[in-house]
Structure formats: C-alpha cells, structure tokens
Homo-oligomer: A and B are copies of this chain.
C-alpha cells in the first residue's frame, strides 16, 4: 500500500490532461459500464463526510473517495475540507494506494466537469463568462474554462466586496479580464456562460433574469438542501443535463426543481450521453441549457487512477 501525499499528487498532475479522462468517465457511466452505489453520507454536529465509490467494468481499480466538510474549520485556520482516495485492485481487493489529496482532486475533477459542460453546452460565441462565488472552486472553474472557451472577459459575482477584490487580484495573471459585481442581475444581463460555485441554500439566480442563449453550470449544490438556481430556470430551460440522473433525483438543482413539480424527470439528459453522442447537446444558439453537477464517483475513479499511474513517470 503506497501513501501519496499532496505534494506528490500535485507533481503527478502537471503532466495530465484531465478533460478527456473525466469525459471518458462520464461516458462510461452513462453507457452503463460503471458501478456506482448511492453516496454514503455521515452528518455530524460540526460537519459532514461523503463517501463516493465505485468501479468501471474492465478497469484495474476501484476507488473509494472520502471527503469531509466542516464549516467551523476556516475560523480555526484549517481548510473546511479534508479527504483522501483509496485506489484498490478490482482483481484482489487490495488497497493499492492512499491518495491523501486533502480534497484537491475533488476540487479539480469538479472544475473539469464544468469545463466539459461548457464544451458541449455553451453557446459558440461566449460574450462574457459569469462566475458566481469567490472561493477555491470559483477560481478553478475559470482556469479550467481556458482550454474550452475563447472568451477572456469575465464578470465575477459575490456578496462580499473584499472577497471579490481578492478574487480579482489573485486571478490577475490568469489571462482573463476580470470585473466584479455584487449584483447577480449583472451576471444574467451580461454573461451567456454562467458558472455558479456557492454553498447557497436559496436561489442566487431567478428565472426571469436568464436570457435566451445562456448556458448555466450549477456546480455548487451537491446535497438535498443546497440550491443556487430558481426551479423556474430549469423549467424554462431547453436542456437540463445531469452528471448523474440517478443522483440528481436526490441532490442538487434538479432534485429541488423536481420537488416543486416544475419539471419532471422524463426530459432530463445526462452529460455522458451527450459526450457519447447518444443525446444531442445544444442544437440552437438561442437555447437555454443547465448543467447540474452533484459529483459522480466516476470522476474520482478517473483522476485517482491517472494520478497513480503518473506517479512513477514523474
């Protein structure tokens, strides 16, 4: 059993092109080649931990990913999240490696999912990228968009002006032109590719605000309680795309909208089917599309295997 620390993992990541890897994971999942049991969840007084696990048929490994989120940590000078991935043999069961990534691989594979959604669902001509939220994921999402979107103009929304300013200065060398706003309406008015990255439990975007030809990737909500988009946005969208339809029945924006009765499940699409060409993606410039990310274990499987296999090449 090998123990890989974050520094080693970061080094291995440098040579990896994650987008095609994560794409192939989603494709395998939607094609029924992945075995992904329901997410394990332990709720405690001060935080929660999620366990995502599964395997892809024919792969050498199965993966168990543990990710915790403890809200009081930042006030103590600790990151809110910790986590690790166990890479195990599908032929002997043995734990081959512990990737102690402290949730970094989860952050990355989530950012790449946003880029994949933009690749297949964003309008061809992106006028301005809207980033909602100012945390780690809001930064990684923008970075991941660099390879799939030509637009370099960005409007970032957040509630806290200081955090907006930090975002803009931290991302000053990212190659994007960054403006900020504390008004979500500005995002909807100016941006036709919007990525939401908050832990909101009430909508930060309303149905009436969204213009035709907009794509929204809702990355923040991965539990039954969190919500970033008004259910009316999903009801009015031409394309509502889940990372996992099964998971989105229980978690995320789709679960919220299903609960209101404003959408029904029959029209839902899955990103892996679009990647695999079994479902069309965006077919008209004026369509409104929504991608709902809840985080699927296939993303963890793909990144964990790739990092492990890259270690020996570093």
Name A's B-contacting residues (CB within 8 A).
Answer: 1, 3, 35, 37, 40-47, 49, 51, 53-55, 62, 64, 66, 68-70, 73, 76, 78, 81-84, 86, 88, 90-95, 98, 100
Residue of B45, B73, B93 touching A73 (CB-CB under 8 A): B93
Chain B residues contacting A83 (CB-CB under 8 Å) are 95
Question: Could you tell me the distance between the alpha carbons of A1 and B103 in the complex, rounded to whole angstroms?
Answer: 14
Chain B residues contacting A82 (CB-CB under 8 Å) are 88, 92-95
Counting from the closest, the 7 A-B pairs by CB-CB distance are A68-B93, A70-B93, A40-B40, A82-B94, A47-B93, A82-B93, A70-B92
A253 CB to closest chain B CB, in angstroms? 24
Contact B53 A76 (CB under 8 A): no
Per assembly, the copies of the chain total 2
Q: A37-B40, A43-B35 are in contact. Are A94 and B66 (CB under 8 A)?
A: no
CB-nearest residue of chain B to A43: B35
Contact B51 A41 (CB under 8 A): no
Contact A42 B68 (CB under 8 A): no
A67 CB to closest chain B CB, in angstroms? 9
Contact B62 A49 (CB under 8 A): yes
Question: Could you tell me the distance between the alpha carbons of A251 and B83 in the complex, rounded to whole angstroms?
Answer: 30
Contact A92 B76 (CB under 8 A): yes
Contact B88 A95 (CB under 8 A): no
Contact A51 B70 (CB under 8 A): no
Chain B residues contacting A66 (CB-CB under 8 Å) are 64, 86, 88, 95
Chain B residues contacting A40 (CB-CB under 8 Å) are 37, 40, 51, 53
Residue of B41, B46, B53 touching A42 (CB-CB under 8 A): B53
CB-nearest residue of chain B to A297: B42
CB-nearest residue of chain B to A71: B93
5 intermolecular pairs with C-beta atoms under 8 Å apart: A44-B90, A66-B88, A81-B93, A82-B94, A83-B95
CB-nearest residue of chain B to A82: B94
